[in-house]
Structure 1
């Protein structure tokens, strides 16, 4: 064991400066260094060929969609098709850069989409990521022309200058002003040698420029994602406050309509029994029996209410054990398939529990289903939930307050939520929650 003490009468030594995390250092070093020569040559040599097809497709589709935008039914679907093609080409380009140059460009986050088709189209059109990817495909071709000239045209000129003594000997040098003076030949040769010497760095710089353009337009826009994250947190905070207020009102209503009425009836029965205890012992016993029944009913209602707030079995035994009695109380068979070991953090586990409970409640109330199933799986650090029923379908997050509440509850822990419910069914509610194992968040 070592021990560090400050000098007596002097200032304590300054703590060592914190170094950035290893991934950040690796990413910074990767962005600052030039790619290797041979991969750079292969990459730049293919740039023109690879850029032609995306440029042509994007230009044609974008021109058609914008020209037909006055006809909404034609222009918007074509624009969405343009975005889809642009995303596919962007994935291809990111994969090519990683495969050839070994530089990984993280894919941007998908746009936030609403539940309906119109909301999804609006989110696509408003997404800066989609327009940045379109811009890349429009700029990639002229950029590839410039980098190809720099990478191969300039070295070709350098080779011609470096060998000027050889090929100019077969011609009348006095006819060329640049070769007429005797000192120009060594000068041009020296310049050609210097160009050839610097050519490898030019090829690598051209490849690095292409990586920079792809990283800027095809990668993540940290500022935009941070702004979107702030918007999401603002909406989530409002939703959490509203959900907490609704939950408080529900608890107050359940206490008033249930346990409080039972306790009032219990007090009245005990009071009447006390008054009859000497004059009518038999009637007093009946009143005491009635009070006993009311006390047990009040205990049951309070226990059910406490279970609705946060079931102790969820804390003690986990998600599978907590959902089993919920499924058993429903008026239809529910198949549970739950495997979430290791257990997620308590707040995530609670959100997962209430998500499944609310989804099953909706099935029992509205779906007219014969059976339902619950699937819960841990995939890495993600908890996947799926509640499926064979009911009549037609569920819509835009109309159902319960489904909107689920979306808000999941957003509070950075989860995602989707509903697939065609008319006639089946309905599938899916949720994904970030779920590091308990104790992993050090």
Structure 2
């Protein structure tokens, strides 16, 4: 168990948290029956109908539903106890066009993925395991509450004809009153075991839903292949941008500068006034070319980043922003130069999006290092609706970070606010 789960030891949990774990157990028990049993049955029927061809049409849909249920358990594992369960799938159920040929190809890919069969095994075992581990704490609490608040009073009013719960073994009112401490014991027992059984179910889920060692290596190879391709494409795009900026900017001005100086040389004896004008224009052109070259260099590696580090460079971006920006930086050291540069450009592009598209009147920048990862958040109070899909600039930022095994998460509901979170593994 990771640090979060370890920090929240069952011995340190309060009453509210234990009640919450009890309710979570009820949810697990319901999902183990209404989710796992139903989906397991549908999956088995679908696999059985593959031989007649019908199963191929619905298998991607069924697998997508199974992975959705497994994904819910992965999310709850992280939210409830801080246990991260990685996604093991090689292909998504939505890969490819949904037609006859595409569906056959999809089914072949899904059935060849070991994670698909591990999900089926997980559903098979989760039906009894989830029911027992999830229902036991709630059953103890319910049984205890019955003994504390129901049995003594109903025995008094209805006598031995009331045969429910602990009253099966009760013969008089005195014994009925003993149900109160017995019920309290069951309530305490249920609350005590609820967190432990909940975490036990999470460990069970991690054992079957997390990638195996071989699957992890395969996913790692696929990820490195993809990020290498993205990095090569990003590098090629950056070289094209530099070439375009040089060709359209500084190079054109330097060519014009040479032409003016050459013409001034021919007019030096006959028209000194024109020569002075041409020299003045040449000086202006050289100054503009120098400015454009400096801007180009800043786009490759900003001098402020080299001189003042990521902390100072981010604060400089905030000062230059058109709207007020709150900055919070907690970096006890400097990241490696490539990671520092990537983080700077991601933050700069995110701030540029705030200015261009958000309509916000306030922004926030937070930068810190924790758990071996450099983290940054750029937020605004604008209109929201930002998405990485559709070839937007945010997708380019994701690809830039992927080259460093980094991640970019975007939370931007319509109406705002927007929060762009970046994480890059690194040591300071």
SS at match of 1:61: helix
The alpha-carbon deviation at position 282 of structure 1 amounts to: 2.5
85 and 298 in structure 1: CA distance in 2 versus 1, 3 angstrom threshold: closer
The alpha-carbon deviation at position 133 of structure 1 amounts to: 4.6
State which of 35, 48, 54 in structure 2 corresponds to 1:61. Answer: 35
Q: Distance in 1 between matches of 2:39 and 2:74?
A: 16
Q: Distance in 1 between matches of 2:77 and 2:319?
A: 49
SS at match of 1:341: coil
SS at match of 2:421: strand
Under a length normalisation based on structure 2, what TM-score does the superposition of the two structures give?
0.60
2:250–2:293 contact (8 Å) kept in structure 1? yes
The alpha-carbon deviation at position 400 of structure 1 amounts to: 3.6
Aligned to 1:108: 85
Aligned to 2:414: 423
Aligned to 2:364: 373
Aligned to 1:257: 248
Q: Which moved more, 1:339-348 or 1:212-221?
A: 212-221
1:389–1:427 contact (8 Å) kept in structure 2? yes
| 2:286 maps to 1:295 | yes
The alpha-carbon deviation at position 88 of structure 1 amounts to: 7.9
State which of 307, 314, 338 in structure 2 corresponds to 1:316. Answer: 307
| Count, aligned residues | 308
The alpha-carbon deviation at position 288 of structure 1 amounts to: 1.1
> What is the 5 A alignment of 1:152-167?
none
| 2:246 maps to 1:269 | no
State which of 358, 364, 369 in structure 1 corresponds to 2:355. Answer: 364
Aligned to 2:126: 137
Structure 1 residues without counterparts, runs of 5 or longer:
1-50, 96-105, 145-209, 438-442
Aligned to 2:215: 224
Q: Distance in 2 between matches of 1:371 and 1:53?
A: 40
Under a length normalisation based on structure 1, what TM-score does the superposition of the two structures give?
0.58
| 2:334 maps to 1:347 | no
The alpha-carbon deviation at position 87 of structure 1 amounts to: 4.5
Structure 2 residues without counterparts, runs of 5 or longer:
1-24, 44-56, 96-105, 134-200
Aligned to 2:14: none
422 and 385 in structure 1: CA distance in 2 versus 1, 3 angstrom threshold: same
Aligned to 2:188: none
SS at match of 1:318: helix
> What is the 5 A alignment of 1:52-91?
57-65=31-39, 82-83=69-70, 86-87=73-74
Greater Rg, structure 1 or structure 2? 1
The alpha-carbon deviation at position 430 of structure 1 amounts to: 0.7
> What is the 5 A alignment of 1:3-82?
57-65=31-39, 82=69
330 and 214 in structure 1: CA distance in 2 versus 1, 3 angstrom threshold: closer
Q: Distance in 2 between matches of 1:334 and 1:94?
A: 34
